């Protein structure tokens, strides 16, 4: 639900502006569709997806919740103590907040908040002043929980009502003297993209702050309304927002919902206490290999060897420690850091403030245009500026999406640079829910490139000859095509070749055409694409050697891994970039090599094979563009990649003597689906997870 909201607020809003905006050009999609044709196809597909979503809620999730004792009650079905409990909640918590708003010439229609939940009401009365029929609105308070617990007399049962149902039942109380003829819940989604023009302001921070204030006032792009809404009432709401309802041009921006609006409210069920047995079993991320027995500082370990991190299976704490240690180390002279999406209580941002206050040279590249994290980033930028951090915002027309941390340390005879590079954000919260990879290194060539990157970001410095890092928008697209072409030529020469890509999205048509040519030359190509994939695998004569799969499971697959070449000849890269035009040409991105053989071997032999073996959470894409959920064949061992990786890291920790004791280990996470690991067939980790350093 939240992803679909963002899709409308940004993607659909942009196409809509092209179709109906006064000054927008009529851009055509790569497949030749005009903007209005794209909108119609999006609407048709989305209407179908939303219907399937609510069918799933009604036919699958609802019965499963009921089987566990959850029951959604209607207000008018409440009796006795249940009704008293809910009425008391309404009087004490809701009524003081509610504001009934009549709409007439003296009371113009309110500007409905983006994604706010409202009740539209048609009122009637026969006596007194004013019109006999009146439209009115009540906003369902966002500051109150949507789900209200209701006492149950049956042990083990969790009853609840929806806040909007309670408010609707008390509408006569809110509009005294009127009869409620009809009412409906509705919700507006607005254009929330921030359009920034360089000539508008010489202060990007202030410009972003101004744009954020205007976000709630964007053009409406979608309305969700209850399917049972009275037609006359529905059209009062729809017409006020100037939305298309499909009656004239076949394009509808109205979504009639058969169920509760805004299903993100269901997260409140997850947060209810007493149902922890229904959650995924918790696990403690392991200390990354190479740091388990660290007795000294982290810089000593990085100087000795590169360190690979695989989150969330391995702890994100060392990344935080890297910056906090640098902030408190008197030998550290400078810290340079990119920040794209940070947590609300960011320990890395706080460490940068401490470092600046202690006199260190601290530079933070804060990306103010990280969509829907702008306000958080603006807040941190202001705090860091006040502490003396040199805060820069990169380029107005490019998002800085690369993940880099650089520490410069005085080690007596020389200055040494230490670098962390990552595929994901410097955010400890999302690091527990997203799969990402990171690399600590003191490699001189990488460190020199990292310094040049910060010079580019802070001073527009040009002309550096990149030695190890591949940077977008400079060279990443060209280098990606070169690496694919190298494998094509190997195959044409009769030599072994291979391409593997794990990414979030594959839509760049030039890269896709290059992959097709590689496939026609006979290159085996495996792609693990969590989201959009515009490539069609398995097409005879075009892409017969390409396999595409998507894995959706407990953790959001976010890491980008690119491999070119077979076995010992493989070049292994990690990256912040997907294979999309925006990553290649409209963002500052990095692709970086994994140079140490033991680390690249770990990726090639322990991580990639697990993703390619998943037969329980993986979906395989066919030549028609349809994903099919994989299931173990007869006699085949079930493999669930994310659980396998948890077990694998647990087994490694046990073998290294890092953990001790018996009991439930990470093998039981997420239901404990058993699977054997490549190279570790039949082993079962029995160690308890070791607590990571905080």
User: Is residue 298 classed as helix, strand or coil in its secondary structure?
Assistant: helix
User: What six digits make up the tokens of 56?
Assistant: 């799933």
Are the C-beta atoms of residues 151 and 159 closer than 8 Å to each other?
Answer: yes
Q: What is the DSSP letter of 693?
A: P
User: What six digits make up the tokens of 355?
Assistant: 């470092």
Are the C-beta atoms of residues 322 and 351 closer than 8 Å to each other?
Answer: no
DSSP code string of 109-173: PP-PPTT-EEEEEEEE-SSSSS-SEEEEEEEPPTTS-SEEEE--SSTT-EEEEEHHHHHHHTHHH
Q: How far apart are CA 652 and CA 656, in angstroms?
A: 6
Nearest partner of 367 among 389, 346, 388, 342, judged by Cα: 342
Are the C-beta atoms of residues 556 and 433 closer than 8 Å to each other?
Answer: yes
Are the C-beta atoms of residues 125 and 132 closer than 8 Å to each other?
Answer: yes
Are the C-beta atoms of residues 546 and 525 closer than 8 Å to each other?
Answer: yes
Q: How far apart are CA 571 and CA 376, in angstroms?
A: 37
User: Is residue 62 classed as helix, strand or coil in its secondary structure?
Assistant: helix
Nearest partner of 337 among 389, 378, 385, judged by Cα: 389
Q: How far apart are CA 518 and CA 498, in angstroms?
A: 9
Cα 241–246–248 angle (5° rounding)?
A: 100
Secondary structure, 3-state, 239-277: HHCCCCECCCCCCECEEEECCCCCHHHHHHHHHCCCCHH
Asked about 390 being catalytic, the answer comes back as no
Cα 171–175–180 angle (5° rounding)?
A: 60
Cα 96–121–101 angle (5° rounding)?
A: 45
Nearest partner of 264 among 146, 107, 398, 106, judged by Cα: 146
Count of CB atoms situated within 10 Å of the CB of 603 = 22
Beta strands 399-400 and 587-593: pairing type? parallel
Q: How far apart are CA 602 and CA 117, in angstroms?
A: 49
Q: How far apart are CA 409 and CA 355, in angstroms?
A: 13
Are the C-beta atoms of residues 311 and 394 closer than 8 Å to each other?
Answer: no
The answer to whether the peptide bond before residue 538 is cis (omega within 30 degrees of 0) is no
Name beta bridge partners: 135: 103, 122
The one catalytic residue among 244, 310, 311, 401: 401
Q: How far apart are CA 44 and CA 517, in angstroms?
A: 34
Q: How far apart are CA 471 and CA 331, in angstroms?
A: 30
Beta strands 332-339 and 403-410: pairing type? antiparallel
* Run of H or E including 451: helix 444-459
Tokens 């054997």 locate to 676
Which positions are annotated as active-site residues? 401
């Amino acid at each position: 639900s939240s992803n679909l909201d963002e899709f409308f607020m940004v993607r659909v809003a942009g196409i809509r502006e092209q179709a109906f905006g006064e000054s927008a050009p009529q851009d055509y999609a790569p497949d030749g569709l005009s903007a209005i044709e794209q909108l119609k196809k999006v609407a048709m597909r989305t209407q179908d997806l939303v219907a399937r979503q609510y069918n799933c809620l009604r036919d699958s999730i609802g019965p499963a919740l009921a089987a566990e004792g959850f029951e959604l009650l209607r207000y008018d079905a409440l009796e006795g103590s249940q009704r008293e409990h809910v009425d008391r909640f309404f009087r004490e918590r809701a009524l003081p907040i509610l504001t009934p708003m009549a709409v007439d010439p003296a009371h113009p229609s309110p500007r409905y908040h983006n994604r706010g939940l409202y009740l539209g009401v048609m009122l009637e009365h026969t006596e007194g002043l004013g019109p006999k029929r009146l439209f009115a609105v009540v906003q369902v308070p966002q500051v109150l929980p949507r789900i209200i617990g209701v006492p149950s007399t049956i042990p083990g049962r969790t009853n609840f009502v929806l806040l909007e149902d309670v408010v609707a039942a008390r509408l006569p109380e809110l509009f005294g003297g009127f009869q409620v003829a009809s009412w409906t819940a509705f919700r507006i989604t607005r254009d929330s993209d921030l359009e920034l023009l360089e000539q508008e302001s010489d202060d990007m921070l202030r410009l972003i702050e101004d744009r954020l204030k205007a976000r709630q006032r964007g053009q409406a792009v979608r309305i969700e309304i209850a399917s049972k809404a009275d037609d006359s009432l529905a059209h009062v709401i729809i017409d006020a927002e100037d939305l298309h309802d499909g009656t004239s041009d076949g394009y509808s921006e109205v979504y009639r919902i058969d169920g509760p609006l805004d299903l993100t409210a269901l997260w409140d069920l997850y947060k209810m206490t007493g149902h922890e047995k229904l959650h995924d079993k918790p696990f403690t991320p392991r200390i990354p290999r190479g740091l388990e027995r660290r007795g000294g500082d982290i810089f000593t370990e990085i100087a000795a060897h590169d360190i690979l991190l695989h989150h969330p299976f391995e702890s994100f704490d060392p990344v935080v420690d890297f910056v906090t240690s640098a902030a408190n180390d008197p030998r550290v002279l400078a810290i340079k850091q990119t920040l794209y999406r940070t947590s609300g209580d960011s320990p890395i941002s706080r460490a940068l403030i401490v470092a600046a206050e202690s006199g260190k040279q601290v530079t933070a590249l804060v990306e103010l245009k990280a969509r829907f994290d702008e306000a958080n980033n603006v807040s941190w930028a202001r705090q860091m500026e006040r502490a003396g951090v040199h805060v820069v915002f990169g380029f107005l027309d490019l998002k800085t999406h690369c993940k880099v941390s650089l520490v410069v340390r005085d080690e007596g005879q020389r200055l040494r640079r230490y670098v962390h590079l990552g595929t994901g954000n410097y955010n400890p919260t999302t690091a527990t829910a997203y799969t990402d990879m990171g690399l600590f290194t003191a490699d001189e060539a990488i460190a020199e490139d990292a310094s040049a990157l910060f010079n580019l970001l802070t001073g527009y410095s040009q002309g550096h000859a990149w030695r190890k890092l591949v940077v977008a928008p400079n060279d990443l697209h060209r280098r990606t095509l070169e690496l694919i072409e190298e494998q094509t030529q190997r195959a044409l020469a009769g030599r072994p070749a291979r391409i593997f890509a794990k990414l979030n999205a594959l839509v760049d048509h030039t890269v896709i055409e290059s992959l097709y040519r590689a496939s026609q030359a006979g290159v085996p190509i495996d792609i693990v694409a969590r989201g959009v994939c515009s490539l069609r695998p398995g097409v005879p004569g075009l892409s017969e050697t390409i396999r595409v799969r998507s894995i959706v499971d407990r953790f959001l697959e976010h890491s980008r891994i690119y491999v070119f070449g077979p076995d010992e000849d493989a070049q292994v890269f990690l990256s912040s970039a997907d294979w999309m035009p925006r990553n290649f040409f409209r963002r500052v991105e990095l692709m970086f090599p994994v140079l140490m053989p033991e680390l690249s071997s770990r990726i090639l032999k322990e991580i990639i094979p697990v993703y390619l073996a998943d037969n329980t959470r993986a979906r395989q894409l066919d030549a028609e563009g349809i994903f099919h959920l994989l299931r173990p064949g007869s006699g085949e061992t079930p493999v669930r990649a994310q659980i396998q990786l948890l077990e694998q890291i647990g087994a490694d920790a046990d073998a290294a003597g890092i953990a001790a004791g018996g009991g439930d280990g990470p093998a039981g996470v997420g239901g404990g689906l058993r699977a054997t690991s490549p190279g570790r067939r039949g082993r079962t980790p029995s160690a308890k997870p070791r607590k990571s350093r905080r």
